Amino acid sequence: MEASEGSEDSPDRASHTSARTHYDATSTGVTGPAIQARVPPYKRPDHFTKKAKAQGYAARSVFKLEELDQRFKLTRRGGKAVDLGCFPGSWSRYLLERGMSVVGVDLQAPALTGGTWIARSAMEVEAVELGRDIDLFVSDMAPNTSGDRFTDHARQIRLAERALLLALATLRPGGAFVVKVFDGEDAPAYTRSVESRFAQVKRVKPEATRDRSVEFFLVGVGFRPE
């Protein structure tokens, strides 16, 4: 899978209907600069998409993890990582390149060597399959978006809750957790549940996240087992 907009999963803040109306203009058979100008910004390759492609990463989202790593010093050579929602594989590849062992979970396995891939829903995977004493547990999981902001938020929070449950069962004391969250009414309660188990939790919107996106990341460091 190439570093395309298809790998950017975040629903747009703007009306889905109006975005689609514009985008459909490209399928009328009319081509040229006038049509290009009507393609919504999030459908055009941007700086991060081009950079991911140039560096051979499967998705532009790799730059979100890279930014979080640079800021919070999350990776370490010889450490153990779990990556939920690992397809098409840019986060896992980054973690492997940083010298970590990786167990990745997604509905399909990425075309990457060097990690252990579990091609199933994270809702069905058991903690014991992910290993123990994990140093870094990341989740970039997102549902297929419907365009209905509330539905997408509710579905995504369920994935984030599953990620937290599995992280709490597998992290070593002091370990770190990164989770994607679609903002919405359940986000504050979810944030509080993460805050209760980590020494420090930050809410971050990485530069590579599009301005219009409703996604943010929670980064928890210093896992405190009960």
- Closest residue to ligand SAM: CB criterion: 85
Q: Is 66 in the site for ligand SAM (CB under 6 A)?
A: no
Interacting span for ligand SAM (CB under 6 A) from 40-48, 68-76, 134-142, 167-175: 134-142
Q: Is 123 in the site for ligand SAM (CB under 6 A)?
A: yes
74-84 CB burial, b ≥16 within 10 A, e <16: bbeeebbbbbb
| Smallest distance from ligand SAM to CB 81, Å | 12
Which of the residues 152 through 191 are near ligand SAM (CB under 6 A)? 159
Amino acid at 111: A
Contacts of 84 (CB under 8 A, 6+ apart): 104, 105, 106, 122, 137, 138, 139, 140, 141, 159, 162, 163, 166
If one counts every other C-beta atom within 10 angstroms of the C-beta of residue 118, the result is: 18
Among 85, 115, 175, 220, binds ligand SAM (CB under 6 A): 85
**Any catalytic annotation for residue 53?**
no
Q: Is 107 in the site for ligand SAM (CB under 6 A)?
A: yes
Alpha-helical (H) ranges within 25-148 are 33-38, 47-54, 62-72, 90-97
Asked if residue 87 lies in contact with residue 108, where contact means CB atoms within 8 angstroms, the answer is yes
| Smallest distance from ligand SAM to CB 197, Å | 22
Q: Is 103 in the site for ligand SAM (CB under 6 A)?
A: no
Amino acid at 15: S
Q: Is 115 in the site for ligand SAM (CB under 6 A)?
A: no
Q: Give me the catalytic one of 43, 50, 80, 180.
A: 180
Q: Is 61 in the site for ligand SAM (CB under 6 A)?
A: yes
Hey, what are 112's tokens? 């990457």
Do β-strands 80-84 and 134-139 pair in parallel, antiparallel, or remain unpaired? parallel
Rounded Cα distance between 7 and 63, Å, is 13
Among 40, 88, 115, 175, binds ligand SAM (CB under 6 A): 88
Asked if residue 52 lies in contact with residue 3, where contact means CB atoms within 8 angstroms, the answer is yes
Q: Which is nearer to ligand SAM, 15 or 121 (CB)?
A: 121
Q: Is 58 in the site for ligand SAM (CB under 6 A)?
A: yes
| Smallest distance from ligand SAM to CB 37, Å | 28
Which of the residues 196 through 225 are near ligand SAM (CB under 6 A)? none
Q: Tell me which residues are annotated as active site.
A: 180
Where along the sequence are the contacts to ligand SAM (CB under 6 A)? 9, 58-59, 61-62, 84-91, 105-107, 121-123, 140-143, 159
